[in-house]
Amino acid sequence: MSGDGQKNQNVDLKALSDVVRSVLALADEVTERTVALGSMYQQAALFLFTKSHKTFKAICLLCESNFIEDAGILLRSIFEILVNARYIAERPKERARLYLEYDYIMKKKAFDISDKRKWRADDIKDILSEYNRVKDNYPDKWHWAGDSMTISKMAQEVGLSKHYETHYWVLSNLAHTTPRAAVSYLRVTEQGLLVGNLEGRDQLFRVLRESCIYFLEIISINNSAFELGLEDKIDAVGRQASWLLKG
């Protein structure tokens, strides 16, 4: 890489680091202002925000340590959170209930494959009671949104299919023990065997950039759900990060 190219790359990473700090500060303010739960939609929105906040922090820590493959796997996770958040926000009352009450379907699945002797009678009664109450809402017991609504289909419905193809599907090959993952982690050079083929500023920049964009939108969705009044600050961080969308 030329000296000018290296210099431009350093400038870009510095600007991106500034955006990361702004996004984290904004997330902290959202956390401080979100003090009470009301509707099921707020419960779902808060869970998705909290989970993505933790995931985004983990991505930042992994990138600092140059564990870019692992950070990329978490980018896949934060994208999945955004897909769910967008999908629920389109019909918040109905879909938040389906999302949260799907837990009873999952508990029933766990109960069915477990050693029944380890369960207390009252717990079994509660699990079966809640399952029977909601089961008719889930004709497809494998997907909370029903109708074989996979992440791929959900992403298409909320306008994120291109992101699914370029990030989620590709990063799935790193998340699972596939030959593609092995090739990504290992390569042989004149210096010998290298572990961690994704190391590099370009890859680090892409992972941080996309996670910033996704997490900022999740923050915005949570802000709307709780009517926190942080639109101006979110817009300001959005303007600060607008150049990322051109990358």
Distance (Å, rounded) from C-alpha 207 to C-alpha 130? 40
Distance (Å, rounded) from C-alpha 150 to C-alpha 92? 19
Distance (Å, rounded) from C-alpha 34 to C-alpha 17? 26
User: With contact defined as beta carbons under 8 Å apart, do 224 and 89 qualify?
Assistant: yes
Q: What is the per-residue pLDDT for 4?
A: 43
Query: What is the average pLDDT across 242-246?
Result: 72
192 forms bridges with which residues in the sheet?
A: 189
Within a 10 A sphere around the Cβ of 180, how many other Cβ atoms? 13
Q: What is the per-residue pLDDT for 113?
A: 94
Contacts of 153 (CB under 8 A, 6+ apart): none
Distance (Å, rounded) from C-alpha 89 to C-alpha 208? 25
Q: Are strands 186-189 and 192-195 parallel, antiparallel or unpaired?
A: antiparallel
What's 114's DSSP letter?
S
Residues 149-159 have pLDDT tens digits of 999 999 999 99
Q: What is the per-residue pLDDT for 168?
A: 74
Q: With a cut of 70, say whether residue 199 has pLDDT above it.
A: no
Exposure of 75 by Cβ count < 10 A (0-12 exposed, 13-18 middle, 19+ buried)? Answer: buried
Query: What is the average pLDDT across 202-212?
Result: 87
Element at 189 (helix H, strand E)? strand 186-189
End-to-end CA distance of the chain: 19
The pLDDT-based confidence of 185 (bands split at 50, 70, 90) is: low
Residues 117-149 have pLDDT tens digits of 889 999 999 999 999 999 999 999 899 998 889
Every domain of the chain and the residues it spans: 3-246
The pLDDT-based confidence of 15 (bands split at 50, 70, 90) is: confident
Residues 50-89 have pLDDT tens digits of 999 999 999 999 999 888 888 988 999 999 999 999 999 9
Q: What is the per-residue pLDDT for 190?
A: 66
187 forms bridges with which residues in the sheet?
A: 194
With CA atoms as reference, report the closest residue to 203 among 66, 74, 8.
66
Q: Say whether pTM exceeds 0.95.
A: no
